[in-house]
């Protein structure tokens, strides 16, 4: 029987725990009123783990199993790794010896913060007999009353265990259309209000976040105009109520009563619509059943209404239907209509995806050499673990379970890209940074598919590979062609040949026996798991702010309840790479802490100034630079990219239009914007969002969601 082999790289056959110095820590999280929100003592972690990573891990991921509450990172990681080791043997991938190597390599990767699984793995694996381990679900939305309320029930089960769900609701008839039994439909928005109310009542089992949800509507739906303006109208209503004296905080009486606040809204647009906008042609809104034209409007008017609403309240985002399906590896099965809540998982209806992210900062050595073999090995171990999760996990509906087994999509990704660039001394908005991002993603996805081929040699290709062989080969060829367009001259010479050989092998295997997994990679927002890994930037994002805040707790110098400012480590790393002296670094840091702004006079050149541009602030990274970074990565991602394009408050509707248009022209699958201060609940400070609903502390826009900087809770989507 064919089995995989695991060669120990990090542990050399020893126990993973023996490579770390373990210490006991006390953990306490204070709320915004300096009261204890969470407190545990004598927790065991490696000595290099930050207090913030310890706080988040202990408060979010430590569970009670068989009556005992976890108090050590060893217990948490071993709860997960022991089950995966058993499954590696049980599913026939590894023999006993290689399964032992696999388990300790995995433990070492997790202890050292090189990678992490999505939150549902930490919540549920080893706690429940059949755990829900996927973070992302796409569900179909039917038009009958039975289908609508079945979807409502299924969403509640997904939210309960800490996952998110997205659906394209375009099948629902509008209020203009008759029912089969007579009379008229209640309409799309009427049912969306029901779903929104239900989502608002669910807090993911009290685990970590509000229910995460995506609502997608096609641009030719008869109610598209009302859908586009839904949240903007509610924002206007909220503003009027605040002026009348009602409570407008994030958990206040106004925002909790507004419609549509518990989902990300996206309009699914086609190339035909985009061309109609550019040519200023009319656009037809069509009935759902017979596609009869209900109304004709100027395409440019609909386009501007999208930009106007997004300028007002950040919704709706856009999803580009034809681009998404150009890269659909299973086009013979069906088109892709939907996505998960943050738009990184885009695949067939009624499927799921478990995610994992690699912390890029750990693959640069002291001399900033990229540890390519460590990176490839980490991909192999984590991707195998993700593959193992599919067969024993729980799914909310029989159809999602069936499709997840038959297509087996996975979502490997990365985080901390912004810190990675800073350590290299590169500006986020630079050709060299974009070349690095292209290379890393190309290597990651090609490696994942190569391992998927190895999985297929052991257990066979995914069920519908033969049916989709033509489209699969087409998409792999697209990846390989894009690999040839990377600016290889800006990178170390050895990288090019590695990726070229990988993609040649992937294309070859596409013509042969194929792959175990229909999709391999996504770029997720990585909010809470980035805190677990002590990543200072998340996903594909640049640095948000170099000044961070920390609550001092009892036993720390200066006493309890004191909030201190500090400069994050990646800022210092960048200055060291750029060869500033220790005294210069201390001077720059002191000025930054005193004023909140980087004193450009203390930097040696305009090029150095560009290295320290952030997502927000007086000298923020331009929207085009955000889009260009996404465009550098997108051709190498199986799914899509969760990212919000930050716009300053002074941005105009025309600039929103231009951002959305450029995203389509650059070949992105989706795009969302967030204009600073466009939300009612956002305080005056540009760097933070609405206060956390749990501990009432400030939040920061990370990828597509506001994430609490104090307790790690995701409180709202951008």
Q: Which residues are catalytic?
A: 340, 342, 344
User: Does residue 312 sit in helix, strand or coil?
Assistant: helix
Contact 104, 85 (CB under 8 A): no
Give the number of other Cβ atoms within 10 Å of residue 335's Cβ.
Answer: 13
Residues 6+ positions from 508 with CB-CB distance below 8 Å: none
Question: How far, in Å, CA of 497 to CA of 606, rounded?
Answer: 34
Strands 136-138 and 644-647: unpaired
User: Does residue 385 sit in helix, strand or coil?
Assistant: helix
Contact 617, 597 (CB under 8 A): yes
φ, ψ of residue 615 in degrees (nearest 5): -70, -30
Cα→Cα distances 164→51, 193, 375, Å: 28, 18, 29
Strands 562-567 and 547-552: antiparallel
Closest C-alpha among 31, 81, 32, 29 to residue 59:
29
Q: Is 22 exposed, middle or buried (0-12, 13-18, 19+ CB in 10 A)?
A: middle
Strands 293-298 and 410-415: unpaired
How is the chain split among helix, strand and coil, in percent rounded to 5?
A: 45, 15, 40
> Which two three-digit tokens encode residue 227?
């859908």
Q: Is 246 exposed, middle or buried (0-12, 13-18, 19+ CB in 10 A)?
A: middle
User: Does residue 293 sit in helix, strand or coil?
Assistant: strand
Contacts 24+ apart (CB under 8 A), 77-80: 77/107, 77/110, 77/111, 78/107, 79/125, 79/126, 79/127, 80/110, 80/117, 80/121, 80/122, 80/125, 80/126
Question: How far, in Å, CA of 415 to CA of 427, rounded?
Answer: 17
φ, ψ of residue 331 in degrees (nearest 5): -65, -25
Contact 221, 188 (CB under 8 A): yes
DSSP 691: P
Residues 6+ positions from 649 with CB-CB distance below 8 Å: 675, 676, 677, 678, 686
Question: How far, in Å, CA of 568 to CA of 536, rounded?
Answer: 7
Question: How far, in Å, CA of 672 to CA of 646, rounded?
Answer: 9
Q: Which residue has the tokens 């997840």?
A: 404
Q: What b/e string do you get for 589-628 counting C-beta neighbours within 10 Å, with b at 16 or more?
A: beebeeeeebeeebbeeeebebbbbbbbbeebbebebbbb
The DSSP element (H or E) to which 410 belongs, if any, is strand 410-415
256 conformational bin, left if phi > 0, alpha if psi -120 to 50, beta if neither: alpha
> Which two three-digit tokens encode residue 447?
């490696």
Q: Is 558 exposed, middle or buried (0-12, 13-18, 19+ CB in 10 A)?
A: exposed
DSSP 327: T
């Amino acid at each position: 029987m064919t089995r995989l082999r695991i060669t120990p790289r990090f542990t050399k056959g020893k126990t993973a725990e023996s490579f770390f110095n373990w210490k006991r820590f006390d953990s306490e999280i204070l709320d915004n009123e300096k009261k204890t929100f969470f407190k545990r003592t004598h927790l065991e972690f490696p000595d290099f783990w930050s207090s913030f990573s310890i706080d988040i891990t202990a408060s979010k991921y430590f569970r009670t199993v068989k009556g005992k509450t976890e108090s050590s990172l060893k217990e948490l990681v071993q709860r997960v790794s022991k089950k995966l080791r058993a499954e590696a043997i049980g599913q026939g991938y590894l023999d006993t010896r290689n399964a032992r190597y696999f388990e300790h390599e995995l433990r070492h990767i997790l202890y050292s913060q090189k990678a992490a699984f999505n939150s549902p793995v930490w919540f549920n694996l080893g706690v429940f007999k059949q755990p829900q381990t996927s973070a992302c679900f796409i569900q179909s939305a039917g038009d009958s009353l039975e289908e609508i309320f079945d979807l409502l029930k299924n969403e509640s089960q997904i939210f309960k265990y800490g996952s998110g769900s997205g659906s394209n609701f375009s099948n629902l008839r509008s209020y203009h259309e008759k029912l089969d039994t007579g009379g008229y439909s209640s309409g799309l928005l009427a049912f969306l209000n029901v779903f929104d109310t239900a989502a608002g009542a669910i807090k993911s089992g009290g685990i970590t976040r509000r229910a995460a949800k995506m609502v997608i509507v096609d641009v030719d739906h008869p109610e598209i105009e009302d859908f586009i303006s839904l949240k903007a109208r509610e924002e206007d209503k909220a503003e009027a109520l605040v002026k009348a004296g009602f409570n407008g905080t994030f958990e206040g009486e106004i925002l909790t009563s507004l419609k549509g606040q518990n989902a990300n809204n996206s309009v699914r647009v086609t190339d035909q619509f985009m061309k109609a906008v550019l040519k200023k042609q009319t656009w037809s809104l069509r009935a759902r059943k017979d596609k009869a034209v209900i109304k004709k409007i100027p395409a440019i008017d609909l386009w501007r209404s999208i930009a106007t609403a997004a300028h007002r309240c950040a919704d709706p985002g856009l999803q580009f239907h034809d681009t998404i399906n150009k890269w659909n590896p299973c086009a013979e099965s069906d088109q892709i209509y939907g996505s998960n809540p943050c738009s990184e998982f885009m695949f067939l209806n009624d499927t799921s995806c478990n995610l994992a992210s690699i912390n890029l900062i750990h693959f640069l050595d002291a001399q900033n050499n990229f540890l390519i073999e460590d990176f490839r090995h980490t991909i192999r171990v984590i991707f195998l673990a993700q593959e193992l999760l599919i067969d024993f996990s729980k799914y909310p509906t029989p159809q999602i379970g069936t499709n997840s087994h038959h297509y087996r999509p996975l979502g490997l990704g990365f985080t901390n890209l912004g810190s990675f660039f800073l350590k290299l001394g590169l500006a986020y908005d630079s050709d060299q940074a974009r070349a690095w991002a292209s290379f890393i993603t190309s290597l990651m996805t090609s490696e994942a598919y190569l391992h998927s081929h190895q999985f297929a040699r052991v257990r066979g290709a995914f069920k519908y590979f033969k049916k989709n062989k033509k489209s699969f080969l087409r998409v792999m060829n697209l990846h390989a062609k894009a690999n040839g367009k990377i600016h290889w001259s800006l990178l170390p010479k050895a990288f090019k040949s590695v990726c070229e050989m990988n993609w040649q092998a992937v294309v070859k295997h596409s013509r042969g026996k194929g792959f175990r997994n229909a999709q391999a990679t996504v770029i997720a927002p990585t909010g809470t798991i980035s805190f677990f890994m002590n990543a200072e930037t998340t996903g594909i994002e640049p640095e948000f702010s170099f000044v961070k805040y920390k609550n001092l707790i009892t036993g720390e110098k200066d006493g309890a309840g004191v909030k201190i400012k500090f400069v994050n480590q990646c800022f210092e790393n960048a200055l060291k790479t750029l060869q500033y002296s220790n005294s210069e670094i201390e001077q720059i840091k002191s000025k930054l802490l005193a004023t909140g702004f980087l004193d450009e006079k203390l930097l040696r050149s305009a090029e150095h100034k560009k290295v320290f541009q952030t997502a927000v602030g007086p000298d923020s990274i331009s929207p085009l630079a955000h889009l260009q970074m996404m465009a550098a990565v997108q051709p190498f991602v199986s799914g899509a990219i969760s990212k919000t394009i930050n716009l300053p408050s002074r941005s105009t509707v025309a600039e929103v239009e231009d951002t959305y248009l450029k995203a389509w022209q650059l070949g992105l699958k989706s795009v969302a914007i967030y204009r600073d201060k466009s939300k009612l609940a956002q305080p005056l400070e540009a760097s933070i969002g609405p206060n956390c609903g749990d501990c009432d502390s400030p939040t920061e826009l990370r990828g597509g969601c506001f994430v609490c900087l104090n307790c790690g809770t995701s409180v709202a989507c951008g």
